[in-house]
């Protein structure tokens, strides 16, 4: 089986690009962030304090997360319920950022992610795919962009949905999440030593896909 790892900070476009590459390559796309967000949905629905590690640890064993595909679109199932529509809310994102640092949460999901990679060709995106989850991936890419560029993308996305939002507040939240992700004790966000850095600040989607496709082709040729 072959695996491609894409890491990077929030809002860098990892999921969008990974989905397009998976379709292009015929790989299965595994959105690891969606798994963490599914756990976050459970914590929110059950009023679990994200700062209470003991409560988080006690809840993990009650959570089952699976991934299904319907008409080629990934569906995330939490304890038998499709929670895909709840994954992209601001509340879920903040809860996921706070709870993904805990060992019990990460241990459970890393095992699931590695299991998927053993069954089929996968492309995964997240914060620690190349460093922790799939250290033997044949292609590793660190996708990033300036906080201004990432905030603008999120702002435009929310505005398009008709939601009221503040660019400055979004940027501040992104920078806070970056700091938390990079400084957490367990599996901090960092570029793997053998990952290729791609800054997408001034690139459109087509340009990013082309750049990553070239990197993957070169990695395949060099294997």
23 assigned to a ligand binding site: no
Write the CA distances from 115 to 21, 71, 94, 122, 154, integer angstroms: 21, 23, 27, 11, 32
Query: How far, in Å, CA of 18 to CA of 16, rounded?
Result: 6
Query: Any binding-site annotation on 10?
Result: yes
Q: Are strands 139-144 and 3-7 parallel, antiparallel or unpaired?
A: parallel
User: Is 147 annotated among the ligand-binding residues?
Assistant: no
* The pair of three-digit structure tokens given for residue 30, joined into one six-digit string: 């595994």
> Is there a binding annotation on residue 222?
no
The token duo for 149 is 């560029």
9 is annotated as contributing to ligand binding: yes
The response to whether 12 counts as a known ligand-binding position is: yes
Is 137 labelled as part of a ligand binding site? Answer: no
Exposed/middle/buried for 188, CB within 10 Å: 0-12, 13-18, 19+? middle
Binding residues for ATP: 8-16
- Binding-site residue numbers are 8-16
């Amino acid at each position: 089986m072959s695996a491609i790892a894409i890491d990077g900070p929030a809002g860098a476009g990892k999921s969008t690009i990974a989905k397009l590459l998976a379709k292009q390559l015929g790989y299965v796309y595994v959105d690891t962030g969606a798994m963490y967000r599914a756990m976050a949905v459970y914590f929110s629905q059950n009023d679990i304090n994200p700062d209470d590690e003991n409560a988080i640890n006690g809840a993990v064993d009650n959570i089952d997360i699976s991934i299904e595909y319907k008409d080629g679109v990934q569906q995330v199932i939490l304890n038998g319920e499709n929670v895909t529509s709840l994954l992209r809310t601001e509340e879920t994102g903040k809860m996921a950022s706070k709870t993904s640092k805990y060992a019990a949460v990460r241990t459970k999901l890393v095992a699931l992610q590695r299991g998927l990679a053993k069954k089929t060709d996968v492309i995964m995106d997240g914060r620690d795919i190349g460093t922790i989850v799939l250290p033997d991936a044949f292609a590793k890419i660190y996708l990033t962009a300036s906080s201004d560029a990432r905030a603008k993308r999120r702002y435009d996305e929310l505005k398009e949905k008709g939601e009221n939002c503040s660019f400055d507040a979004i940027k501040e939240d992104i920078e806070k999440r970056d700091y938390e992700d990079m400084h957490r004790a367990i599996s901090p966000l960092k570029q793997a030593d053998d990952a290729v850095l791609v800054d997408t600040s001034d690139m459109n989607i087509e340009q990013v896909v082309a750049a990553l496709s070239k990197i993957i082709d070169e990695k395949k040729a060099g294997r």
